[in-house]
Amino acid sequence: MNLLMIAAAIGAAAIGYWNEGAMLIFIFAMSGALESYTMERSRKDISSLMELQPETALRLEQGEMVSVSVHQLEVGDLILVKPGELIPADGTIYRGASSVNQASITGESVPVDKTVGSEVFAGTLNGEGVLYVEVTQSAEATLFAKIIRLVEEAENEVPASQRFMKRFESVYARVVVIATVAIITLAPAVLGWDWDTTFYKAMVFLVVASPCALVSSIMPAMLSAISNRARQGVLFKGGAHIENLAQTAVVAFDKTGTLTMGTPVVTDFIAGEGWEREELLGISASIEWMSKHPLAQAIVQYAEGAGAPRRQVEHAQSLTGWGMQAELDGVVWKIGKSDMLDQDDAADAPNNLDQLSAGSKSYWISARNRLEAEGKTVSVMMKGNCIVGMIALQDAVRPQAAAAIKQLQKLGITVAMLTGDRKVTAQVIAAQSGVDMVFSDLLPEDKVRHIKELRAKYGHVVMVGDGVNDAPALATATVGIGMGVSGSGTALEVADAVLMNDNIEEIASTVKVARKVQRIIKQNMIFAITVIATLIIANFMEGVALPLGVIGHEGSTILVILNGLRLLRSKA
């Protein structure tokens, strides 16, 4: 394309149209500047967060604070963050309390209160308090570092339509040059034109047939869309994924941490006959305090909130795939899955049910069934071989889940939920959120199989997930979307886009923007082809003045770019 413009400018000058040649180069340069502006604007909107990357941290070493590079920080280090400073690493608050501005990561405009045990992220701004933070991620593994990698991938990724346009441009430019030479050599003999008319029309043809507007139809619009979404907390790894998103037929959500908050809470605590509720709460917290499992931590928090005192237990250990056990006053206590109530063979159960009367067992089974019908996860508490309590926990549905799904359905998109949870629990969450299809009791490979089946039946499928177990499905889907705050590193690595604020309502907005991009690109291409065809035909039929050809050609290029730039301010 540059070659065609230079040749056209030289040709215009050769026949005495110096001003038109200069105008051609000027307007061509202006259109190039607009494209560069779009690229820089997109890059700025995506990567402005990089400027918030702290370079040093105050690390506690032998009782003293030492300034070190953030790349020297290791997991477990204790660092000091003063008021008004950027937090240099991902971690949890060891001591202190403050409000933290997380706008650079999540897009939240209001600072979030943080206390001991709260999670903080590198690149966020500490408020008025002094914080001691225990580092949980190396500099290369922080959420901030993941954002930077996303930016680099977004800058290097070229959509399929643009790759095709580049190949087309190369072939088309050669055709235009050959056609121009053919006009100069053949027109006098075939059409009877004189030399001046032939050369003039050939130069006009060279100008108006150049594919500048056509080539500029795609990337400015695509980059504007990427920039638009970045400001709303949605980062894409490249324009190709926006193209694919526009064709979305199905959006499949993981349940835990995606449609739900991913943090279970205790909803029911049933004490057996003859037992005080507070006593059992204290014992359950004493046992589960030794576990890092989310359900165990939820039980501990519930007991602490109720003011139940913990007791000293011994020989605490995890029962793989079932729960926890520990000794208290020489008696073994256990907390774990309630599925042992369904096992008749005592040898296959994690405990012996011989001492349970039929009535007692029926009572607990009835309670379990009632709680599970409400979509809750149920654990039993045992002293020796007797069940003495039952605990129900539930992962709350995200406040915006129902609205997000309704917005997708309004766009004609089918919504599915893929989960490893039980069917009853999955159906309750599905009813609360309004999804169209539910697939439960799934292993990671089962999720992959269902994604493949959905793609075969519906076409383009988007998968939204946050965990390591979602990574294969994210990679299998047409477009994988990861949760930026709650998502695992593996999920973010394989995802094609990331919700930096975990707001799943932005998925529908992003689909709207993606579809708008496709409409704008089609508008641009139709307009560009129409202008080129009209000017070429007019040049041969009636004749087009070179100044008019320059203005018509380069003006159409500028209009196409400006049309794409509309997305910078679009609110979807």
Catalytic residue numbers, as ranges: 254
Helices 219-231, 506-541: axis angle to 10 degrees equals 160
Handedness of CA 230, 235, 238, 239 (dihedral sign): negative
Helix (H) or strand (E) holding 498: strand 497-499
Calpha distance 256→415 (Å, rounded) = 16
Calpha distance 76→70 (Å, rounded) = 13
- The strand order across the sheet containing 125-126 reads 112-114, 98-101, 125-126
CA angle 245, 250, 256 (to 5 degrees): 100
The helix/strand/coil state of 339 is helix
Handedness of CA 483, 484, 485, 490 (dihedral sign): positive
176 contacts 210 by C-beta, under 8 angstroms:
yes
87 contacts 70 by C-beta, under 8 angstroms:
no
User: 415: burial class by Cβ within 10 Å (0-12, 13-18, 19+)?
Assistant: buried
For strands 125-126 and 98-101, give the pairing: antiparallel
The pair of structure tokens assigned to 353 is 């049910």
